[in-house]
Structure 1
């Protein structure tokens, strides 16, 4: 048995002083704990759930021009994924959703973590993105046109073992020639995608920047909108009505704007990134006013957006209007709900022992997530 002793336990249900006892990877009690085989003195500190990132790309490493990854072979991409998994875990991230990698690379990475071959967060993975021919991310996606082709593309990912199906409903920042907010897969194609995934009870995610693409995806029944940059008030209200999650990925544009062309980011990406960043203030206003469900995601792997810096997303969301408590919920219970993980996101008896020890109350100091003093994953001390 492992006991984290003397801490203030904090999660979406509030705060209480308690010991946290862990056995066989599961939290067995939150309260007064007996002597244990191993103890962590957490007095004066805060024990919180591990973070959950609902949007990463494990094969990407934050390089300035992500399209250059096409020159790397799949073996190198796998090594990179392994390194990124370890970096994310050490940063206190205990579950991730990979939303696009070649073939079954991310699906296989998740199996390697589950089997103990790799150290890393639990991985929920989509396989390959479904994209229109020449659309955003075509260089690592599965191109498909028309409802029949889209259904087949979805079934290919399901055959590989995909936990979620990801598609491109609009253009994006990092594909040259793509118009960021312009619709790509149309509503009929998106509906076919959702129907094919739902037949296997598998959720869906749509990269969608522009308002029309967002609305197409929501009406089609997509589970989550990724980015949602140019969301208008009507789109936000539609998302709230349908219960569609929003994953803002603020860090994606932050890295592009912070480093710029001088760091090697393509000029077209910087120009589109600036346009996207300028629209985010309004998107957050509309989403918060409509009470849209928000889950934390970073798009980790995009330019200067490193897996080891995932916790910075919570600070950025607070800068856009979330409270630190709301940001914590987005990165724990909300993200767990979106990923379909019923045993993580809280510090409660019966939950998986994915925990971080923090120096400050994260409901008051959102930056404390960026420097956990301890990380526990599946009951094992990582650091």
Structure 2
């Protein structure tokens, strides 16, 4: 797929730096660290990861034979897969009113903003994102760019404009449809545009005037049509769900991921325990909305913080019943959600949802790769996988704050962030 995407680009549009990055991807080198979390388990002890042509070639406890440079990022460094955010909005600027800020921008101006947002994710060690709502398929241009130039941002999985109802949640992004025929046509358009996931706004949402998160926008029958058509065309379906009925309908329609899953209703009652078990038993991946900027969090009213804390409790309840959890930050929608906020979600999963450090890191690596349709390429440190790697300064299993001490970020075997390591030859 990488070679197909690159062939679609005009080579004359690439800068000299881009060509150098591509050439560097063919080089062989070894990363040495004092510990590794591979996406499922972690261990302390010297580890050597050999990289060639953008892929992991070997993982072992001794230095591979041969005259290959070894990059050493210092004592106590740990290596893990690049983090994966399953729910971002690169078109939004994380301001107090991102919808109004979006309105006056032309496509070229908006694309500049999206590139800045993508760079912020990469700075934080996030090497793949699933963009679940852009304006008029602009993320396609960014996705092509970051495949050719890994230093420009993470691998982008695109959904295009979310499918919604006329005047419904996020209708201003251009994905409103009315009726079965338009629903089917919208799914097919996303396939033609190169999307790998269909995003559908099953619930209303707070970002759209007149929209109610507790109210469903589509029927179960409509969701079944979307799922069947998307799966026929090789795409997954991400369902934006808040209300209990919307969550129930989405699970029973067979969607691939549930976004938010906040169980909002008008009377404040907790979700039925039977529904929690139904979600867990269905195998659907719950894309838990976590990750928040500490400074903005401290400024929120107590009532808002109590509500968000309750969401974390619900995610823990789902996890204990066997649900498969990934993390989608919803980056871009508010000051609480700046781009690159994903590392904070690991602490929240541990402290608020009750996950173990291992389970929390799995949620932002292996499980997130599954949610994004990237499990065969990313999220796991093993031979044959893409060399999307993160090096941090200490053991993230002992202290998740280590994720903020970024020593290096690699995308497709190219070091795109981080200081100069010691090189042994």
- TM-score, normalised via structure 1 length: 0.91
CA deviations over 1:331-353 (Å, ceiling 9, x no partner): 00001111111121111111111
Within the alignment, does 1:59 sit opposite 2:99 as a pair?
Answer: no
Residues in 2 aligned to 1:5 and 1:198: alpha-carbon distance in whole angstroms: 41
Q: Is the 8 A contact 1:232 1:283 kept in 2?
A: no
Shift of 1:38: 5.4
Q: 1:219 to 1:95 in 2, by over 3 A?
A: same
Within the alignment, does 1:128 sit opposite 2:161 as a pair?
Answer: yes
Shift of 1:257: 5.3
Residues in 2 aligned to 1:274 and 1:140: alpha-carbon distance in whole angstroms: 28
Within the alignment, does 1:82 sit opposite 2:108 as a pair?
Answer: no
1:263-274 equivalence runs, <5 A: none
Comparing 50-59 and 307-316, the one that deviates more:
307-316
Within the alignment, does 1:288 sit opposite 2:319 as a pair?
Answer: yes
Matching residue of 1:70: 103
Matching residue of 2:209: 176
Matching residue of 2:30: 3
Q: Is the 8 A contact 2:58 2:382 kept in 1?
A: yes
Shift of 1:357: 1.2
- TM-score, normalised via structure 2 length: 0.83
Q: Is the 8 A contact 2:82 2:365 kept in 1?
A: yes
Matching residue of 2:126: 93
Residues in 1 aligned to 2:178 and 2:185: alpha-carbon distance in whole angstroms: 10
Q: 1:178 to 1:5 in 2, by over 3 A?
A: same
SS in structure 2 of the partner of residue 227 of structure 1 = strand
**Aligned-residue CA RMSD (Å):** 2.2
1:207-246 equivalence runs, <5 A: 207-230=240-263, 232-246=272-286
SS in structure 2 of the partner of residue 177 of structure 1 = coil
Matching residue of 1:308: 340
Comparing 343-352 and 252-261, the one that deviates more:
252-261
Unaligned runs of 5+ residues in structure 1 are 262-269
Matching residue of 1:380: 414
Shift of 1:169: 0.7
Q: Is the 8 A contact 2:220 2:249 kept in 1?
A: yes
2:51 to 14, 22, 36: 22
Q: 1:185 to 1:253 in 2, by over 3 A?
A: farther
SS in structure 1 of the partner of residue 172 of structure 2 = coil
Matching residue of 1:267: none
Within the alignment, does 1:297 sit opposite 2:324 as a pair?
Answer: no
Residues in 2 aligned to 1:127 and 1:169: alpha-carbon distance in whole angstroms: 16
Residues in 2 aligned to 1:358 and 1:39: alpha-carbon distance in whole angstroms: 13
Q: Is the 8 A contact 1:94 1:120 kept in 2?
A: yes
1:349 to 383, 388, 410: 383
Residues in 2 aligned to 1:192 and 1:75: alpha-carbon distance in whole angstroms: 35
SS in structure 1 of the partner of residue 379 of structure 2 = coil
Q: 1:65 to 1:154 in 2, by over 3 A?
A: same
Structure 1 segments of 4 or more deviating over 6 A? 252-256
Q: 1:217 to 1:254 in 2, by over 3 A?
A: farther
Matching residue of 1:266: none
Residues in 2 aligned to 1:280 and 1:9: alpha-carbon distance in whole angstroms: 31
Residues in 2 aligned to 1:214 and 1:126: alpha-carbon distance in whole angstroms: 20
SS in structure 1 of the partner of residue 166 of structure 2 = coil
CA deviations over 1:121-162 (Å, ceiling 9, x no partner): 111110110001111111114111222221111111111111
Q: Is the 8 A contact 1:60 1:301 kept in 2?
A: yes
Residues in 2 aligned to 1:10 and 1:275: alpha-carbon distance in whole angstroms: 33
How many residue pairs get matched? 374
Q: 1:255 to 1:100 in 2, by over 3 A?
A: farther
Q: Is the 8 A contact 1:91 1:371 kept in 2?
A: no
Q: Is the 8 A contact 1:3 1:38 kept in 2?
A: yes
Unaligned runs of 5+ residues in structure 2 are 1-27, 264-270, 419-425
1:141-220 equivalence runs, <5 A: 141-220=174-253
Within the alignment, does 1:139 sit opposite 2:172 as a pair?
Answer: yes
Shift of 1:223: 0.5
Q: 1:89 to 1:140 in 2, by over 3 A?
A: same
Shift of 1:276: 4.6
Residues in 2 aligned to 1:291 and 1:233: alpha-carbon distance in whole angstroms: 13
Residues in 2 aligned to 1:300 and 1:66: alpha-carbon distance in whole angstroms: 11
Q: Which has the larger radius of gyration?
A: 2
Q: 1:125 to 1:196 in 2, by over 3 A?
A: same
2:288 to 232, 248, 258: 248
